[in-house]
């Protein structure tokens, strides 16, 4: 993944990230967030995955159902945010919508994906921090305000 | 819904909105827009609904077909804008894409939804105003420029 | 298409574009990019098409499969970016997700579409430029960093 800072105005930065064929989605983004001490950020990406794991949150089980997909799919929309966890390590939350050969669409919570040939991500930072905390009765880490 | 202003630079504000379990989508956002006198704004959200009403605009009837869905669904993408109507009251226009247990996807114009467990919305304001006006021959309120 | 510049802060501009019934998606956006010498920009739109051509990138053939759709469809999400090509002419890359009468969803790479009744697009510019270059072994023009 190659990244470039497009702007920095009073601590609000915009980054563009361009992924290389075969790279994972999560790790390079977490690294960029850590190395740059990103505040709360929002990102959006388009491109394609050759392999991806999506999920659906099962209310009864208080946990995600995972759906691995081994198929070349267009990334039609990938929206997410960067916050920090209780350990102050950056947490990525992302949802994805994927397009197939016949125009059919699938999607879910994005666990991780393998990019091919590229993923173009734009990230906008705000000069503030938001923290997630695990809420046991729900089963998810929710933003604390 | 809890909100926080993340930035304010020359009248351009960014807000984060975090919805609570069971809250409606529309009303808290309209209230925030009114209380803060929001200029034209654009927002994007991810999270989940336990109940939602989507719509499709029927060209012949010049009106929406409504589709209520009583099901836990991931909010994969929720994109919209805030303008004002002829009465200068904030108008929300939003489209949503929803994900089910098996990765299947549905979507449409978003009438309203009941959040569960959360919806995380980021809103960016521009220091300008845009007004919608109802166009009878189309059947919709369109932005006037 | 009518456009308005909502802000200009140190060369970072935000534009709103409102399309008229029957207009094509691509051409007015390319013209706006050329006339304003847009830096790298990201946009998002909602509205509807009465006709649209989407695509899926076929890895084996190193080319897109085109899927023309002659049907009134909601534009549920339309995300894209503006860069320049090797000829320094603006290049639009956009992916789209479309909603039908029954809430069903299709999507893909967006070749072009015919708007009806409107498409509301917000574009954010960054004061930098990114260039795409055709990579023969992949079959696509990728951003050079």
pLDDT per position as a tens digit, C27-43: 999 999 999 999 999 99
Report residues of chain A scoring pLDDT below 50: none
**pLDDT in the model for residue A9:** 84
Judged against a pLDDT cut of 90, whether residue C127 lies above it is answered with no
Q: Under a CB-based contact definition with an 8 Å cutoff, are residues C19 and C106 in contact?
A: no
Nearest CB partner across the interface for C40, out of A6, A77, A102: A6
Q: Please tell me which residue of chain A has the smallest CA distance to C41.
A: A122
pLDDT digits (tens, 9 = 90+) for B96-105: 999 999 999 9
Residues of B within 8 A of C9 (CB-CB) are 9-10, 12
**pLDDT in the model for residue B11:** 78
**pLDDT in the model for residue B38:** 95
Q: Under a CB-based contact definition with an 8 Å cutoff, are residues B41 and B90 in contact?
A: no
Query: Token pair of A35, please?
Result: 């190395």
Report, as an integer, the average pLDDT of C92-108. 98
**pLDDT in the model for residue C11:** 78
- Please give, rounded to a whole number of angstroms, the shortest distance from the CA of B74 to a CA of chain C: 15
Indicate the pLDDT class of residue C10, thresholds 50, 70 and 90.
Answer: confident
**pLDDT in the model for residue A11:** 78
Global confidence as pTM: 0.97
State how far the Cα of C3 lies from the Cα of C13, in Å rounded to an integer: 12
**Cross-chain residue pair A108–B116, CB shorter than 8 Å:** no
Residues 6 or more apart from C89 whose CB is under 8 A from it?
C30, C34
Indicate the pLDDT class of residue B68, thresholds 50, 70 and 90.
Answer: very high
**pLDDT in the model for residue A10:** 80
**pLDDT in the model for residue B127:** 85
**pLDDT in the model for residue A124:** 95
Q: Under a CB-based contact definition with an 8 Å cutoff, are residues C4 and C14 in contact?
A: no
**pLDDT in the model for residue A76:** 98
Residues of B within 8 A of C122 (CB-CB) are 42, 81
**pLDDT in the model for residue C54:** 98
**pLDDT in the model for residue B10:** 80
Judged against a pLDDT cut of 90, whether residue C65 lies above it is answered with yes
- The mean pLDDT of chain B is 96
Query: Token pair of C140, please?
Result: 């696509």
Residues in C whose CB is inside 8 Å of some CB of B read 2-4, 6-7, 9, 14, 16, 18, 21, 44, 46, 48, 50, 72, 74-77, 97, 99-105, 116-118, 120, 122
């Amino acid at each position: 993944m190659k990244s470039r800072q497009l702007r920095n105005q009073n601590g609000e930065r915009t980054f563009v990230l361009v992924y290389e064929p075969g790279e994972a989605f999560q790790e390079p983004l977490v690294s960029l967030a850590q190395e740059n001490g990103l505040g709360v950020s929002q990102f959006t990406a388009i491109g394609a995955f050759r392999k991806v794991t999506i999920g659906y949150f099962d209310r009864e089980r208080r946990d995600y159902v995972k759906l691995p997909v081994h198929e070349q799919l267009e990334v039609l929309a990938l929206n997410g945010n960067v916050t920090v966890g209780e350990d102050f390590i950056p947490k990525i939350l992302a949802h994805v919508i994927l397009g197939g050969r016949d125009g059919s669409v699938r999607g879910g919570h994005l666990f991780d994906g393998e990019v091919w040939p590229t993923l173009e991500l734009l990230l906008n930072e705000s000069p503030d921090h938001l923290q997630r905390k695990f809420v046991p009765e729900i089963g998810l880490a929710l933003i604390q305000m």
